[in-house]
Structure 1
Amino acid sequence: MELRFGYDTGEQIVDIPEKNLLGVLIPNPVEYTRTGAPEVQYSLEHPICSGRLEEIIKPGEKTTIITSDITRPMPTDLVMPLLLDELYKAGLKPEDLTLVYACGIHRMHTLDERKKLAGESVFSQIRCIDADTSNWVHMGITTRGTPVNIVKEVAEAEKRICLGNIEYHYFAGYSGGAKAIMPGVSTREAVQSNHSLMVEPLACAGVLEGNPVREDIEEAGNICKIDFILNVVLDEHKKIIRAVAGHPIKAHREGCAFLDKLYLKEIPKKADIILVSPGGAPKDLNLYQTQKALDNAKYAVKDGGVIILIGSCKEGLGDRTFEEWITQSPNPHSIVERIRYDFQLGGHKAAAIAMVLEKADIYLVSELPDDLVRNIFLTPQPSAQAALNAAFAKLGKDATILAMPYGSSTLPRVKIRRES
């Protein structure tokens, strides 16, 4: 069987013996009546547990819209014209509006990237800026001790609207909702405090209730009050098939429930070999982002197995602290030990990779130099096919395989058999 895995804007093609293949984890079939712009428009006209924007926002109120940066597949350029129409109906003028790209701890955008994200029309109408975390306002502190330090343009707004796409997040449970505020427009100190909660047991993909990271994020979103959200769920082709708008938590929960119907994948058992890709650009820009697919794959691999991670990582490792931790540690276990007493943002990603390495080998198909890949405890492979051949050589010709072409989105879960 020939399978294709997204790799930057292209593909990696792999021939897999059908007798070895336990399954291909593609989205579940779900029913929906609208897609794209009509679905977004419908959500704006039918907000969840909230009034429409024209009922919430008064003419002249300074309103900030927070949206995702270039490392996320959120189609801001499609959503923003519809949102602007609603805001103009509410009596706002272009000078009342600012679009802020939630860069978090990621790099700033180029001018062309900011234009592309917003779309030419929106970019020419309203102010579109990156979140500058060097200029922030302290708004409070959560019960778990996270400082709510928010970039000035967001903190001083009279109304705040958060955009985002909903997918699984390896320790916040899901993306979307208040994540636009924390970590999106928060200082590094604040993000580090929040993310340090990732070491707790319930901080994992697909978990909301009792998840300390998600609860801390949403408390920050209450302190820096979110007035309205507009979140979307994308299919494997990055097309909007569900949009939810309105209350920052209740609307988000409906989006998460839909995501589960689409991407939560029950598997009969774990496999010896996992072939996984984030799905191509922009999710595989660097190893820092590509890691999210790896973390989902860990739920499907047997102890002692091999995960073949397919991602271009054409921009390198993606974070200075992450690079320091993963390149200068003597072995993976030392990273796992370090994160328990010396939590650092960036180091947490290195620790996440190290924890997978304690369970399975990782073969990486990327544009990173082979020496660098070996130095970070991974095994470089020139192609996905070569990686599979190497995995067979290690584990034997009868090794079982699961394929995850959309690994950042799909969450495997071993089916629980109940005795009759």
Structure 2
Amino acid sequence: MLNFELPYGESTVKVELPEKGFVGEYHPQRQSITDSENALVEKALNHPVGTERVEQLVKPGQKVVIVTSDLTRPCPSDVLLPHVIDRLNKAGVNDEDITIVIALGLHRKMTEDELQKAIGKSIYERIRVLNHEVDNTVYVGTTTRGTRVEFFRPVVEADFRICLGNVEFHYFAGFSGGTKAILPGVASAKTIRQNHSHMMEDGAEAASIYDNPVRMDIEEGVSFLGIDFVLNVVVDEHHRVIDAASGDWIKAHRILAERLEKSGIVPIEEPLDIVIVSAGGYPKDINLYQAQKAIDNCAGVLKPGGRMILFAECPEKYGSKTFKEWITSGKKPAELVKGLKENFVLGGHKAAAISKVVLKTSEIFLVTNKEFAEEKLVGIRCFDNPTEAVKEAFGEKGMNAKYAVFPLGASTLPKIKRGE
């Protein structure tokens, strides 16, 4: 037998798997990094892409908003913010003219303790911090795809906007980071719903940007407002910065997206019977709403009728009331996909995305916390014991089943090799 230790919540879980049929354990391809996190961030800020340094762009007296991620994203705000704020101060911008906005999208508000931990105590005590409010928005325009674009009032009314974020694969927007800090990050519920409805169209998939209808709609919507400067990073499984880029809100993001595509896509020789996947631990498995991204990333290398065993602790269970209603509805996967196509519903879109995977492959086995494992989910069979899930999967597919292990499923995009 082979032994693996997979990320699970803020710890790991041990898994024993058969030696026969093992194809490989796949991680994103990481280049050796000799610089510290702070050195990488400083290097990016010293050499912005397509624009001047942030301290050369901002003017004293301007009202500056810094938009950064909430607790569901592994963006190291506590590492990035001191560098940015230091440069703003040196350019003559006072602390009282700076506001940090947490890009929640439709996620829950962060608590005071969570905010302090996320951005760092010293910054939290100095700078005003606001959770984004979906009901306090300003209309800025309508995209050619018909999305009515509304953004959080303090962001719209700022003189200078800076966006922070981490870049990783996103199952229908291509990549996270960049303009996603604004849309959906600080948009109204209506704007988010209209934009995300394009996820059912061709091209809305991981690692796709240039012909991706969701990404194109996002960037058009954000262009009505504009971003003055971005600082984006790529982080490893320990949430440490391993790459960074700053500057123009399109060009800097594209650089990191292209680098991630080269490192994160891993070639697989042939389709597999079973994939063993970890979402990547906290915060990627804080709830099933977030862990779904690992499902979508790794499903493409499964044979029809294959099995996925997903390890995701999900201490906050569903992450969305509407998602819970859909994924516990008792309906068949095909019904959820059909329902979303007929009437797009945020939250329901996650359940439909899982259902699409189930229809193409087969049932998903979720190894999760004991309480959540008692839930009845559409297309998902829950376990609180890894051994039982493994025994069940290999019992159904056979002990000779070909399988691979993906410890960082949300950051890895396996693809079947195509013939030359």
Q: Give the TM-score normalised by the residue count of structure 1.
A: 0.97
Cα distance in 2, alignment partners of residues 15 and 325 from structure 1: 33
Distance change >3 Å, CA 371–CA 279, structure 1 → 2: closer
The Cα of 1:4 is off from its aligned counterpart by 1.1
**Can you list the C-alpha shifts for 1:389-409, whole angstroms capped at 9, x where unaligned?**
111110111001111100000
1:150 and 2:155 correspond:
no
TM alignment of 1:168-179, pairs within 5 A: 168-179=169-180
Q: In 2, Cα distance between the equivalents of 1:382 and 1:206?
A: 32
One-letter amino acid of the counterpart of residue 285, structure 1: I
Distance, in Å, in 2 between the alignment partners of 1:355 and 1:168 is 18
> Deviation at 1:368?
5.8
Between the aligned partners of 1:244 and 1:384, the Cα distance in structure 2 is 39
Partner residue of 1:16? 17
Structure 1 partner of 2:280: 279
Cα pair 1:27 1:236 within 8 Å, conserved: no
Measured in 1, the distance between the counterparts of 2:330 and 2:389 equals 25
Counterpart for residue 90 of structure 2: 89
* Offset at residue 311 of structure 1 (A): 0.4
Gap change, CA 1:403 and 1:11, over 3 Å in 2: same
Higher deviation after alignment, 105-114 or 219-228: 219-228
- Residue matched to 2:75: 74
- Separation in 2, partners of 1:31, 1:93: 38
Give the drift of 1:371: 7.1
Cα shift at 1:18: 2.8
Amino acid across the alignment from 1:89: K
| Structure 2 residue 164 is matched with structure 1 residue 163 | yes
Aligned residue for 1:28? 29
Distance (whole Å) between structure 1 residues aligned to residue 9 and residue 132 of structure 2: 26
Report if the CA contact (8 A) 1:104-1:184 is conserved: yes
Q: Secondary structure at the match of 2:24?
A: strand
Distance 1:45 1:65, change over 3 A: same
- Residue 246 of structure 2 corresponds to which residue in structure 1? 245
Q: CA shift at 1:367, angstroms?
A: 1.8
- The equivalent residue for 1:390 is 392
Task: Give the deviation of 1:355 after TM superposition.
Answer: 0.7
Q: Secondary structure at 2:20's aligned position in 1?
A: helix
Moved more, 377-386 or 302-311: 377-386
Q: Point out the more displaced range, 32-41 or 356-365.
A: 32-41
Task: Could you tell me which runs of 5 or more consecutive residues in structure 2 were left unpaired when the two chains were aligned.
Answer: none
* Aligned-partner Cα distance in 1 for 2:30–2:63: 42
- Per-residue displacement from partner, 1:134-186 (whole Å, max 9, x unpaired)? 21111111111111110111011111001000000000000000000000000
The aligned residue for residue 321 of structure 1 is: 322
Output the CA distance in 1 between the equivalents of 2:347 and 2:298.
20
> Aligned residue pairs: how many?
418
The CA deviation string for residues 72-93 of structure 1, in whole angstroms up to 9 with x for no partner, is: 1100001111111111122100
Partner of 2:226: 225
- Is the Cα contact below 8 Å between 1:12 and 1:383 reproduced in 2? no
CA contact (8 A) 1:114 1:129 kept: no
Counterpart contact for 1:313–1:368, Cα < 8 Å: no
* Aligned match of 1:352: 353
Corresponding residue for 2:331? 330
Kindly state the Cα deviation for residue 118 of structure 1 after the two structures are TM-superposed: 0.9
- In the aligned structure 2, how far is the partner of 1:27 from the partner of 1:331? 34
Instruction: Give 1:367's aligned residue.
Output: 369
Ranges in structure 1 where 5+ consecutive residues have no aligned partner: none
Q: 2:369 corresponds to which letter in structure 1?
A: E
CA distance in 2, matches of 1:90, 1:270: 55
CA distance in 1, matches of 2:11, 2:238: 13
**Distance in 1 of aligned mates of 2:40 and 2:34:** 8
CA contact (8 A) 1:316 1:368 kept: no
Instruction: Kindly provide the amino acid, as one letter, of the partner of residue 335 in structure 1.
Output: L
Structure 1 stretch displaced more, 369-378 or 220-229: 369-378
**Residue aligned with 1:276, SS:** strand
Q: 1:17-61 deviations in whole A, cap 9, x for unaligned? A: 233111111121425452311100110110001111122111111
Aligned CA-pair RMSD: 1.3
Q: Quote the Cα distance in structure 1 between the aligned partners of 2:112 and 2:298.
A: 35
Distance 1:227 1:381 in 2: 47
Q: Give the deviation of 1:372 after TM superposition.
A: 5.0
Say yes or no: does 1:377 pair with 2:374: no
Deviation at residue 369 of structure 1 after TM alignment? 3.9
Q: Is the 8 A contact 1:172 1:205 kept in 2?
A: yes
Indicate how the Cα distance of structure 1 residues 329 and 228 shifts in structure 2: closer, same or farther if over 3 A, else same.
same
Tell me how far 1:282 sits from its aligned partner: 1.0
TM-score (norm 2): 0.97
Q: Quick one: which amino acid aligns to residue 298 of structure 2?
A: A
CA displacement 1:318-339 (0-9 Å, x = unmatched): 1011111222252111001011
Amino acid at match of 1:364: L
Identity fraction in percent: 43
8 Å CA contact 2:370, 2:384 repeated in 1: no
Question: Is the 1:68–1:101 contact (alpha carbons within 8 Å) kept by the matching residues of 2?
Answer: yes
